[in-house]
Amino acid sequence: MAKEPIKFRSSKHNMDYILLTVVLFLVGFGLLMIYSVSSYEASVEFGDSAYYLKNQAQSTMIGFVGLFVMIKFPYKALQKMDVMALLVSAVLIILVKSPLGITRNGASRWINLGFITFQPAEVAKIGVIIYLASIIQRLESLGKNVIRTPKGLAIILVPPTIIAGLIYLITNNLSSAIIVMGIAVAMLFVAVPDYKWFVAIGAAGVAAVAALVIAVSNADATGSNFRLARIQAWLDPESYSTDRAFQTLQALYAIGSGGIWGKGLGQSMQKRGFLPEAQNDMIFSIICEELGLFGAFTIILLFVVLIWSCMVIANKTMDRFGSLLVVGVMAHYAIQVILNIAVVTNTIPNTGITLPFISYGGTSTLFLLMEIGIVLNVSKYCR
């Protein structure tokens, strides 16, 4: 009975409820897992097993506000904010070095604006997406393949590179820099008709990585270089079990000991101090341990649905700017999920990348939800 009017309305004004449902499920599941994973450590350290849960719930509430604002906010207005988005991102990153900057666990990645504390790198991701969507749309509207001229490429790639460079140099956050660059490359890939350059660059990248791996595996194990050591630990975690590969190996223990059906929700052993701060980057390994292969596949499939839904929205949108915004967000999610699971399963060397919607972290939750808000907003204008 209710089906009829919805169908009628969906053709013009309705947004993608499947996507919203998937996201709400992921957020709810994330909260559940954060409680499960962190309660032991939280009760030992803070005497409050819900310490992390409460913080994350608070961030999620703010995130939902952001989500609804972005659903209502006419996304086309963002198109005029392109340069501003970039500048705000850059300024916020630089502010980390100012007295507003906050250092936690030895990393200077936060700023405190009095009413809110957040990571500028997360702002930069959304900033870069807005900038690129806007600038590509504008270059395309000029026609004549301006986008494929060196000047056009420079306009597209140089600002995100600067932002990524700032993130890496100022906050020493390689993973966010990689994500920013990844988003830029993905959006460029979508914007231009070429394949061969990307294939060539991809092949060169693979070759470079292979050469690096061979060089590192033959290099001295003494490696004072932090990243070199990480790569060595990646290649042979069991030889570096006590120091460099400690976290990776503990994550592997968690994943491996989960088996097909897992130990049951709340039954993880690895979260009991063996895998420190498992609620952050390594939360997927505890999901594997508690919910087994079944749970892990469910999560992976939900992300597949999420990414697929983004693609469908992007391709249904008549407006190029909206479409590019959605592509940027899709690329952001895809890169982060792939890299996170790849790190947790020791498929690539360890870099701190969180699992979207599930890992603990206030800023990333807020901006991820805002991005979903933008996508849902765009979805209202489909077809």
Partner 1 sequence: MAAKNSTGRRNMTVQKRKTFVLCVMSVAALLLLGVRVGYLMIMCSEHYTELATQLHERERDIKAARGRIIDSTGTVLADNKTVCTISVIHSQVKEPEQVIEVLSRELGLSEEYVRKRVEKYSARERIKSNVDKETGDRIRSLDMAGVKVDEDYKRYYPYGELASKVLGFTGGDNQGIIGLEVSYEEYLTGKKGQILTLTDAKGIELDGMGERRQEPEAGKDLYISLDINIQKYATQLAKQAYETKQAAGVSIIVMNVNNGEILAMTDVPEFNLNEPFTLIEEFQVQEIEKETEEQTTQQDEENQTEEKQETRESTQDLLNKMWRNGCINDTYEPGSTFKIITAAAGLESGVVSLNDNFSCPGFIVVDDRRIRCHKISGHGAEDFTHAVMNSCNPVFITVGLRIGAERYYEYFTKFGLKQKTGIDLPGEAGTIMHQPDKIGEVELATISFGQSFQITPLRLMTTVSGLINGGRLVTPHFGVKAMSADSTMVEEFTYPVSEGIVSAETTEKLKYVLEQVVENGGGKNGYVEGFRIGGKTATSQTLPRGTGRYIASFLGFAPADNPKVMALAIIDTPQGTYYGGQIAAPIVRQLFENILPYLEEMDYN
Q: What is the DSSP string of 280-330?
A: STTHHHHHHHHHHHHHHHHHHHHHHHHHHHHHHHHHHBS-HHHHHHHHHHH
277 binds partner 1 (CB under 8 A): no
Q: Is 262 helix (H, G, I), strand (E, B) or coil?
A: coil
Query: Which range of residues in 213-221, 327-335, 352-360, 370-378 is near partner 1 by CB under 8 A?
Result: 327-335
CA angle 362/364/367 to nearest 5° reads: 110
259 binds partner 1 (CB under 8 A): yes
The single-letter DSSP state of residue 382 is B
Closer Cβ to partner 1, 117 or 257, answer by number: 257
95 binds partner 1 (CB under 8 A): no
Query: Which range of residues in 45-53, 106-114, 169-177, 187-195 is near partner 1 by CB under 8 A?
Result: 187-195
Q: What is the DSSP string of 183-241?
A: HHHHHHHHHSS--HHHHHHHHHHHHHHHHHHHHHHHS-TT---HHHHHHHHHH-GGGGT
Residue among 140, 153, 155, 157 that touches partner 1 (CB under 8 A) = 140
Closer Cβ to partner 1, 63 or 292, answer by number: 292
- Among 219, 301, 293, 286, residue whose Cα is nearest residue 253: 286
Residue among 27, 163, 184, 341 that touches partner 1 (CB under 8 A) = 341
Residue among 193, 196, 218, 220 that touches partner 1 (CB under 8 A) = 193
Residue among 25, 73, 246, 253 that touches partner 1 (CB under 8 A) = 253
Tell me how many residues contact partner 1 (CB under 8 A).
53
363 Cβ partners below 8 Å, 6+ apart? 59, 110, 118, 119, 122, 123
* Chain positions contacting partner 1, by CB under 8 A: 40, 140-141, 143-145, 186, 189-193, 252-260, 269-270, 272-274, 288, 292-293, 296-297, 300, 303-304, 307-308, 310-311, 314-315, 320, 323-324, 327, 330-331, 334, 337-338, 341-342, 345, 347
